[in-house]
């Protein structure tokens, strides 16, 4: 495994990030343990979770699974760079969500208890909170860093302007600020190329793409349907909307002799701003299969063909839409 720096930090992480969102709702605890053990065996040391994962309000089901896995010992905690998140609703009272200093403090302490650890490597704001000033947010994060409960701070689902605001406010406080941004990014969702990616590059943030397979759309969905796999109504609607592109896409991957999911990940890995796409395996086979993406190298001709099938916004703003 070749490791890479998380943004401008010295922290070394694997080029694939293990997403845990399926742990609990889709994947049993025992299978979740097996996937995490296999990830470490394969050299994947970067895991992503969130306090709301598990989708039982206030319970942090997925964080608890990770915590119980760590509690088995054998250096599991020491090997893993863990990223979790704060923002989502953890209760029905008004201060049990978003990014007030009070909620950041309480949410962090609750995540630490569930994870059975004394520090979080990367604490990510799951969404921007337009009603809380950056002075308040950074004061709360600085306190957590001073106490050793958080090492690095990241964002998720931020616009380029939010990244700029956040890091300029942090700079004025002589604080490191954001080191990563977790965004929706895949061949079918390239809007972040307009302003989020330039902001990440300008401020030294590592980009962590979520939904790299566009909810399964880029994972060979036409072939799976043809082979009798059932698709949800949402996926069926997306297939009909993008059928012409998907036919070209799957033919392109067949010509390469590679699985569509692996090519989709390989394309992201080739984007200079990307630190590590998040893979969300439900099974061991899905996990091990993802490593093929690390070996695929797309040529300039391949990339041009992909741009033709899945056009981006035209590059960075403002050149993408202005002279």
Annotated active-site residue 123? The verdict is no
At 237-264, the pLDDT tens digits run 999 999 999 999 999 999 999 999 999 9
The answer to whether the beta carbons of residues 287 and 281 sit under 8 Å apart is yes
pLDDT, position 311: 97
Percent of the chain residues topping a pLDDT of 70:
100
CA distances from 154 to 38, 76, 223 (A): 26, 23, 37
pLDDT, position 233: 83
The answer to whether the beta carbons of residues 4 and 276 sit under 8 Å apart is yes
- Quick one: which H or E segment has residue 13? strand 12-13
Radius of gyration of the chain (CA): 20
pLDDT, position 227: 87
Q: How crowded is the C-beta side of 55, counted as CA atoms within 13 Å?
A: 7
Domains, the chain, ordered by start: 4-216+259-298 (3.20.20.100)
CA distances from 224 to 235, 253, 274, 286, 306 (A): 12, 14, 29, 15, 21
Q: Where are the alpha helices (DSSP H) in the chain?
A: 29-42, 61-70, 76-79, 101-115, 134-146, 160-172, 196-203, 221-226, 233-256, 260-269, 284-290, 300-309
From 53, 87, 185, 203, the catalytic residue: 53
In 3-state terms the chain splits into helix, strand, coil percentages (rounded to 5) of 45, 15, 40
- For residue 46, what pLDDT band results from cuts at 50, 70 and 90? very high
pLDDT, position 60: 97
At 131-157, the pLDDT tens digits run 999 999 999 999 999 999 999 999 999
At 197-233, the pLDDT tens digits run 999 999 999 999 999 999 999 999 999 988 888 777 8
Whether 118 shows a pLDDT value over 80: the answer reads: yes
In which region does residue 98 sit, left (phi positive, over 0), alpha (psi from -120 to 50) or beta (all else)?
left
Q: How far apart are CA 281 and CA 20, in angstroms?
A: 8
Q: How far apart are CA 72 and CA 70, in angstroms?
A: 5
**Residues 51-60: b if buried by 16+ CB within 10 A, e if exposed:** bbbbeeeebb
- Computed over every residue of the chain, the mean pLDDT equals 97
Q: How crowded is the C-beta side of 293, counted as CA atoms within 13 Å?
A: 28
Is the whole-model pTM more than 0.95?
A: yes
pLDDT, position 231: 77
């Amino acid at each position: 495994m070749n490791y890479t720096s998380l943004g401008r930090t010295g922290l070394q992480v694997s080029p694939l990030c293990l997403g845990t969102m399926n742990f609990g709702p889709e994947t049993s605890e025992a299978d979740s343990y097996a996937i995490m053990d296999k990830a470490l065996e394969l050299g994947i040391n970067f895991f992503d979770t969130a306090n709301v994962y598990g989708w039982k309000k206030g319970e942090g089901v997925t964080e608890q699974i990770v915590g119980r896995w760590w509690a088995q010992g054998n250096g599991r905690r020491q090997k893993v760079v863990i990223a979790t998140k704060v923002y989502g609703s953890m209760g029905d009272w008004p201060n049990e969500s978003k990014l007030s200093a009070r909620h950041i403090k309480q949410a962090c302490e609750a995540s630490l208890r569930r994870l059975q650890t004394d520090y979080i490597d990367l604490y990510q704001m799951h969404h921007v909170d337009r009603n809380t000033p950056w002075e308040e947010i950074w004061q709360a994060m600085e306190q957590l860093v001073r106490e050793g409960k958080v090492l690095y701070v990241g964002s998720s689902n931020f616009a380029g302007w939010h990244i700029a605001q956040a890091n300029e406010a942090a700079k004025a406080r002589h604080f490191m600020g954001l080191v990563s941004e977790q965004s929706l990014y895949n061949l079918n969702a390239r809007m972040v190329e307009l302003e989020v990616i330039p902001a990440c590059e300008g401020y030294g943030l590592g980009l962590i793409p979520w939904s790299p397979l566009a909810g399964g759309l880029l994972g060979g969905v036409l072939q799976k349907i043809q082979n009798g796999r059932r698709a949800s109504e949402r996926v069926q609607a997306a297939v009909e909307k993008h059928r012409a592109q998907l036919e070209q896409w799957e033919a392109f991957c067949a010509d390469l002799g590679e699985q569509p999911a692996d090519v989709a990940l390989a394309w992201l890995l080739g984007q200079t701003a990307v630190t590590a796409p998040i893979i969300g395996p439900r099974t061991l086979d899905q996990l091990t299969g993802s490593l093929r993406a690390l070996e695929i190298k797309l040529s300039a001709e391949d990339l041009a063909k992909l741009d033709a099938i899945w056009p981006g916004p035209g590059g960075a703003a403002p050149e993408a839409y202005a002279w």
